[in-house]
Amino acid sequence: MPAQTLSGPYVQVAAICTTPLIEQQGLLSVIRIQDRVQLAGITEQMQPQPLNNLWLTIVLKSGEMIGNYSLYITVVSPSGNRTDGPNFNVLFEGQERGTVLGFPLPFIVQEQGLYWFEIKLEEVVLTKIPLRVMYQKIQMMPGMALGQ
pLDDT average, residue stretch 124-135: 95
Tell me the average pLDDT across 114-126.
Answer: 95
Mean pLDDT rounded to a whole number for the chain: 88
pLDDT the model gives residue 116: 97
> Which pLDDT value is given to residue 26?
74
Report the 10 Å Cβ neighbour count for 109. 22
Query: Hey, is 143 helix, strand or coil?
Result: coil
**pLDDT tens string 19-29:** 888 887 778 88
Are the C-beta atoms of residues 56 and 9 closer than 8 Å to each other? no
Does residue 143 carry a pLDDT above 70?
no
Instruction: State the CATH class of domain 10-135.
Output: mainly beta
pLDDT given for residue 6 in this prediction: 58
CA nearest to 105, candidates 47, 36, 41, 57? 57
Q: What is the pLDDT of residue 16?
A: 95
pLDDT tens digits for 30-55?
Answer: 999 999 999 888 888 888 988 888 99
Give me the pLDDT at residue 1, please: 38
* pTM of the complete model beyond 0.75: yes
Region 94-100: mean pLDDT is 90
Instruction: Please calculate the CA angle 136-140-141 and round it to the nearest 5 degrees.
Output: 145
